Amino acid sequence: MLEHQMHLISNLNFLKERGMSNAELITLDTELPDNIQIEQTRTAALTIRCNNILLHSAYDPVKEAQRFIEAQNLQPGDRVLLCGFGLAYHVKEVLTRIGPQGKLIIFEPNFDVMNAALILVDFREIFAQHEVYLIAGRTEGHLAMRLSALLSRHFADVSEKKKKVVIHLPSYHCFPEHLISIKESFDLLLLERKASEVFGDLERENFIKNLDITLASPNIEKLRKVFHGKPAILISAGPSLDIVLGSLREYVDKAFIFTADTSYPFLQKAGITPDVVFSVDPQADTIKHFSYSEKDHALLIALPTMDTHSLHKYSGPKMCIIQKDNSITKKLEQHFENKAFTHAGGAVSCIALDVMFQLGCEPIIFAGMDYAFPLNKYYSTNTIEMKKWYRDVNRFNTIEMMHYEVIKNNKVRYVENNSGKRIPTHETLYLYLRQIEEIISRNPKRHVYNLMSQGSKIQGTDRINNIKKLDKILKRSLDKTTLTLRDEPVDQSVKDKIMEEVARV
C-alpha cells in the first residue's frame, strides 16, 4: 500500500499546485473508505465498486472507456463538463480527444470515490499537459458555487457547439442523497437524452420537412412589441384547472392566453380562446389536439422537430423556435442566429414560460400548473385522455382506480403543496417543477402568480387563493388585433447548407 500512499501525497501536492485543492481534500484518509472495494480486471487493470456499483468494466476498462468516449463526439478544443471521475480511464480518453487546446471540468459527485482515486491513480501522468479543473467535496453549497464559477469562467467565451457535457453513468448512480439539487440538473439532461434516443430518427425526419417553416420564422423581437408589459395566463392541464376553468372566461379579454397543445381543444370548447399555443411532440398523434379549421387563430409556436403533418396542416399563424442544445439542431445553430431560441428543456410548459419571459409578459399567471397529483388525480377532467377513460368506467373500474393505477405505475416521490401537505408526483414532473423554478429565478424582477393551485408549491410564485383577486391584477381589456405574423423570406443558400450538414450526420 506504500505506493498508493505515495500517490495520495503526490496527488494532493499536485492539486494544491494547480489550485484545485480544498480543506476537505486535505483531510482525506490514507486508507480506502469501507464502501469502496478494489477488483483486478482480466487485463490486470484495477476497477472499483462503490456501494456495490461497479464503476469500470471487470474485463477491460481501457477499451470500455474508449468506446464510451468515442460515442460522445468530442473534438479538439472542446470545453467539456464531465460528471464522474472514477479511476480516470474515460478522463484520459476525453483529454486525448480535446487536446491541449481543450478544457475539462470534472465533477466527482461521490467523495469516497474521489478518495479512492487519489490513492490509486497518478494524477500527474493524466493532467500534466492539459487544462483540467476538478470539483469534489461533501458540501453541496460549496460544490454548486465552485461548479457555477468554473462554468461561467471557461464556458462563456466559446460557441455552443464547443460546449459538451459527458455523464459517466456508473458515477452518476453513485450520487449521494445530500447532493440532490446538483443531481437534478444531470437528471433533466439524461431525461432529454433518453427522449432523443427514442424519437431521434422521427425528430430528424420532422426537422427536414419543417425546415422551410423554421427558416421563415421571425425572431422574438418581432413579437415583443405585442406582448411586452402585457399580462398573460399560462394554462396547463393539471387537476387544479378544474377549479378555475369556468371562471377564466371572464378574463380572456384582459390577458393573453398561452397554453400547450394538450389543453388547446378543451379550452376552445370552454369559450377560452388561446392567443398562443405551444407544441413540441414529434409523434403523429399530436394531430388530435388541433381542429384544423378556420377557428385556428392562435399563434402556434413549435419546435422544428414537431410532428410535420400537424404543423403543416395548422391553418393559423405558426413559427418554429430553436431549442438550445437540442440533439437534432445543436450542430446547426449557427444557421439560425436570427431566429427565436429557448434555453428551456423538458416539458412544453418550461419552454412556454421561457418564451413568455422573453416576450416581456408582465405579470404571468399560472393555471393548472400542478406538477403533482393533488387528490390523487392525474389530469384535468377536460383532457382528451380523461374523456377516453370515461368510456371504460364500470363498477369494477372507477375513475379513481384509473388515476391510482397510472400514478403508481411510475416512480413516485412526494412534494409539498401550498398548504405544507405532502402530495405525490412523478420523478419527471419533479424535474420539470425544478426547471420552472429555475426559469423564474432567472427573472427576479418579474411577477408570477399561481392561481388556486392544489399541486406542488412553486418557488418564486405568489399564490392567488380566490379567483376574484384576479380583478385587482387584470384591470383592463387588451387590444389583441395587433397579433399578426409575417413570414421571413427563406434564404435558399442557408437551406442548402443545412441540408448538406444534415446529410453528413
The reported pLDDT for the residue numbered 253 is 93
SS3 of 457, please?
Answer: coil
**The pLDDT value given to residue 399:** 47
Q: Give which of 153, 162, 172 is closest to 53, Cα–Cα.
A: 172
Q: What pLDDT is recorded for position 51?
A: 93
Higher pLDDT among residues 280 and 405, named by residue: 280
Does pLDDT of 5 surpass 70? no
- Point out the least confidently predicted range of 5-14, 187-196, 220-229: 187-196
- Closest residue by Cα to residue 47 from 176, 168, 180: 168
At 170 the pLDDT is 93
How much of the chain, in percent, has pLDDT values that exceed 90? 37
Cell numbers for 254:
384582459
Q: Could you tell me the pLDDT band of residue 396, with boundaries at 50, 70 and 90?
A: low
Looking at 61-70, 257-266, 389-398, 407-416, which range is the least confident one? Answer: 389-398
Q: Which three cell numbers stand for residue 338?
A: 436570427
Per the CB < 8 A criterion, the answer to whether 49 and 36 are in contact is: yes
Peptide bond into 218 cis (omega under 30): no
Which is more confident, 50 or 372?
A: 50
| SS3 state at 490 | coil
Q: Tell me the domain boundaries of the chain.
A: 2-175, 206-370+435-473
Q: Is the pLDDT of residue 402 over 90?
A: no
Note the pLDDT of residue 157. 78
The mean pLDDT value of the chain amounts to 84
For residues 78 and 201, the model is more confident at 78
Amino acid at 13: N
In CATH terms, the fold of domain 2-175 is: Rossmann fold (3.40.50)
DSSP per-residue string spanning 186-232: HHHHHHHHHHHHHHHHHHHHHHHHTHHHHHT---THHHHHHHTT--E
Question: Residue 286 corresponds to which cell in the numbers above?
Answer: 399530436
Over pLDDT 70: what percentage of the chain?
85
Q: Does pTM top 0.85 for this prediction?
A: no
User: Would the pLDDT of 389 be above 60?
Assistant: no
Q: Which residue has the higher pLDDT, 430 or 447?
A: 447
Query: Cα(351)–Cα(436) distance, rounded to whole angstroms?
Result: 9
pLDDT at 327: 76
Among 11-25, 160-174, 258-272, 420-434, the least confident range: 11-25
User: Mapping DSSP to helix (H, G, I), strand (E, B) and coil, where does residue 477 land?
Assistant: coil
In angstroms, the CA 342 to CA 439 distance is 11
Rg of the Cα trace of the chain? 25
Looking at the predicted structure, is the pLDDT value of residue 2 above 50? Answer: no
Are 302 and 209 spatial neighbours (Cβ–Cβ below 8 Å)? no
Per-residue model confidence (pLDDT) at position 104:
93
CA distance 256 to 230: 8
What pLDDT is attached to residue 338?
86
Q: pLDDT at position 502, please? A: 82
Q: Of how many residues is the chain composed? A: 505
Q: pLDDT (tens digit, 9 = 90+) per residue, 456-505? A: 999 999 999 888 899 999 989 998 876 777 778 888 888 888 888 888 76
Q: Are 144 and 109 in contact (CB under 8 A)?
A: no
- Determine the Cα–Cα distance for residues 126 and 419; give it in Å rounded to an integer: 53
Q: What is the mean pLDDT of residues 403-418?
A: 70
Number of other CB atoms surrounding residue 403 within 10 Å: 19
Reported as type and span, the H/E element at residue 413 is strand 412-416
* Predicted local distance difference test score (pLDDT) of residue 258: 97
**20 contacts 150 by C-beta, under 8 angstroms:** no
The answer on pLDDT for 29 being more than 80 is: no
Can you read off the three cell numbers belonging to residue 219?
Answer: 425572431
Contact 147, 82 (CB under 8 A): no
Give the model's pLDDT for residue 392.
Answer: 55
Q: What is the mean pLDDT of the segment spanning 164-172?
A: 91
Residue 39 has pLDDT above 90, yes or no: yes
For residue range 202-234, what is the model confidence (pLDDT) as tens digits? 888 999 999 999 999 988 888 898 999 999 999
pLDDT digits (tens, 9 = 90+) for 53-79: 999 999 999 999 999 999 888 999 999
For the segment 103-111, the average pLDDT, to the nearest whole number, is 91
User: Averaged over 275-299, what is the pLDDT?
Assistant: 82
Cell of 298: 392562435
Q: Locate cell 472507456: which residue?
A: 65
Output DSSP code: residue 497: H
